[in-house]
Amino acid sequence: RKEVEQDPGPFNVPEGATVAFNCTYSNSASQSFFWYRQDCRKEPKLLMSVYSSGNEDGRFTAQLNRASQYISLLIRDSKLSDSATYLCVVNSKNTNAGKSTFGDGTTLTVKP
Amino acid sequence: EAGVAQSPRYKIIEKRQSVAFWCNPISGHATLYWYQQILGQGPKLLIQFQNNGVVDDSQLPKDRFSAERLKGVDSTLKIQPAKLEDSAVYLCASSLGASGMSYEQYFGPGTRLTVT
């Protein structure tokens, strides 16, 4: 079983739709969580951190459920420009520093 | 603020040849990461440096891959000899502190390696 698992999709949605992605992780000692966005043939960029209490940034909402070991990303009012791959990242503490584990990503295509 | 710089952007080599990639992180960033991203997969951590010390190289194939970060600034990743399965994008990233402390990672544009 992979440490971080995501539904690869693809998710194909019309503009204006609401779409949600989930990500599960296996290490119960994981400490911090992020969503990164990766456009085709580009590098990943931080979309948002995920806090225990849940957090919102405009049309994007991230939530963490430690008991069930998953995080989610909700995108409301999808735009064409939201088309990308969304990577879930889970950080855990190793002996000297943190270790980041990336999921394989969920691909979103928003269509007109 | 200048971003993470990587070179070359593209490289094509034959199997059994050697290749080296260079990365210059954002100024002041203590932690530097090398990731391998195979098409359709997420980035996989190869090695993580904090300043000029290695803190995690558990997934680095040490029989063929090596990396160094001299003086705690820029870094090189070498593959010798290359195999077909090494074809991937090699991403360098840096962060202000260790990733376990919730610091954002900033990625360079990557080096796309094709081994024929």
- Tell if the CB–CB gap between A97 and B48 is shorter than 8 Å: yes
Q: Which residue(s) pair with A56 in the sheet? A: A61
Distance from CA of B82 to the nearest CA of A (A): 22
Q: What is the pLDDT along chain A (112 residues), one digit of tens a residue?
A: 889 999 888 999 999 999 999 999 998 888 889 999 999 999 999 999 998 888 999 999 999 999 999 999 999 999 999 999 999 999 887 655 578 899 999 999 999 9
From chain B, the residues in CB contact with A87 under 8 A are 42-43
* Six token digits for residue B113: 């390696």
- Tell if the CB–CB gap between B56 and A99 is shorter than 8 Å: yes
Q: Please report, rounded to a whole number, the percentage of residues in chain B having pLDDT higher than 90.
A: 80
Contact B111, B10 (CB under 8 A): yes
Q: Among candidates B97, B100, B110, which has minimal Cα distance to B22? A: B110
Strands annotated E in chain A: 4-6, 11-14, 19-25, 32-38, 45-50, 55-57, 60-65, 70-75, 84-93, 98-102, 106-111
Residues 6+ apart with CB under 8 A from B114: B10, B11, B12, B13, B87
Contact A11, A109 (CB under 8 A): yes
d(CA A27, CA B115): 34
Nearest CA in chain B to A6: B42
Place of tokens 């090596």: B66
pLDDT higher than 90, residue B86:
yes
Which candidate in A100, A102, A106, A107 is best for mutational testing of the B interface (most B CBs within 10 A)? A100
pLDDT higher than 80, residue B33:
yes
d(CA B7, CA B25): 12
User: What distances in angstroms separate CA A35 from CA A13, A48, A64, one per listed residue?
Assistant: 20, 5, 11
B39 touches chain A (CB under 8 A): no
